[in-house]
Chains A and B, each alone.
Chain A
C-alpha cells in the first residue's frame, strides 16, 4: 500500500485527472451499455407483445 491518505490516493501523484478520467469513462460506458440493453430488451418485448395481441385482433375480425 503506497497511499498515506485519501487525498494522496485521489491525487494519484499528480496524475489524478488522467487516471480518474480513464476509470470513470470506462465505468460510465459499461453502465450505459447495460442500461441501453435493458431498454432495448424492454422495447423489443413490448413490440413482440403488441405483435402477438395484434395477431389476435386479426383473427377476431
Chain B
C-alpha cells in the first residue's frame, strides 16, 4: 500500500522536502489575498467598528490551535496503536506550532477584548478553556523533554495528548454550554454564517493560509526531528554530506 511506503522515514523525508515550498507558496499567496480582502474589501462592522478586523488573525489562529491539537492527538494515537516512529515524530513536530497559535489566539483575543469588553482578560469558559489548551501543549512538550528514553517520552506525551483532547469540544461548545462573555459562533456548521460575505471570505482565506503555513512548518520541523532522532544521513535529499563523509573514508 502507498501509505506504508510513505510512512518509512527514508521515503517521507525527501517527499516532505519537496512539498514544503508548495505549501509555503500557497500560504503566502493566500495571506496576501486574505489581508487585502480583510483590510480593503470587507466593510466596517456596524457594531464593533474597525476593531473587528482582528478576527482575520484571531479566528484562524483559534481554529488552528484546536485543529492542530486534534491532529497531534490522532498522530499520537496512531503511534501508540501501530508503534510507528513517524507518527510520534509527527505529533512531536505539531506541538510547537499548535502552542504558537494558541498563544496568538489568546493574545489577539486580549487585543479585541480590551476595546470591546473593556478588559484584556475575563475568566469565562471560552477564554479559560483556551488557556488550558496552551498549558496542555506546554505539558506535551515538557513531558517529552523531561524523559530521556525516547520510547517512553513518545508514549507518555502521547497519552497526555490523547487524554487532553477532551478539552477541544469543551472550547468549541463553551459559548453554547455556558453563559460566556465571549460571543457565540458567527460561523456555525448548523446554521451557516451570520457575517457579511466579504468578511467571511477574508476569514476563510486567512484560515486556509494559516493551515498551509502550519503544514509547511510542521513538515520542516518533522525533518529536523528525523535528523535529530535517527541521525542517519542516508535519506537526505542533498547527498553532499554523505559524499563528503564517504570521500573522507
A interface residue numbers (CB < 8 A to B): 1-3, 9, 12-15, 18-19, 21-23, 25-26, 29-30, 33-34, 37, 40-41, 44-45, 47-49, 51-53, 55-56, 59
Interface of chain B: mostly helix, strand, loop or mixed: helix
A47 CB, min distance to chain B CBs, angstroms: 8
Contact status B104-A29, CB under 8 Å: yes
Tell me the bound Cα distance from A48 to B13 in angstroms: 15
Contact status B108-A33, CB under 8 Å: no
In the complex, chain B residues whose CB is within 8 Å of the CB of A2: 43-44
In the complex, chain A residues whose CB is within 8 Å of the CB of B220: 37, 41
Q: Is B122 an interface residue (CB 8 A)?
A: no
Q: Is B15 an interface residue (CB 8 A)?
A: no
B interface residue numbers (CB < 8 A to A): 39-41, 43-44, 49-51, 53-54, 57-58, 61, 96-97, 100, 103-104, 107-108, 111-112, 114-115, 213, 217, 220-221, 223-224, 227-228, 231, 233, 236, 241-242, 244-245, 248-249
In the complex, chain A residues whose CB is within 8 Å of the CB of B233: 48-49, 52
Contact status B108-A26, CB under 8 Å: yes
Q: A19-B53, A29-B103, A30-B213 are in contact. List 8 more A-B contacts (CB 8 A).
A: A9-B39, A12-B50, A18-B51, A18-B115, A22-B54, A37-B220, A37-B224, A49-B241
In the complex, chain B residues whose CB is within 8 Å of the CB of A9: 39
Tell me the bound Cα distance from A33 to B57 in angstroms: 16
> A22 contacts which of B44, B96, B107, B249 (Cβ < 8 Å)?
B107
Contact status B54-A14, CB under 8 Å: no
- Given A22-B112, A26-B104, A52-B233, are A45 and B51 neighbors across the interface (CB < 8 Å)? no
Contact status B245-A19, CB under 8 Å: no
B96 CB, min distance to chain A CBs, angstroms: 7
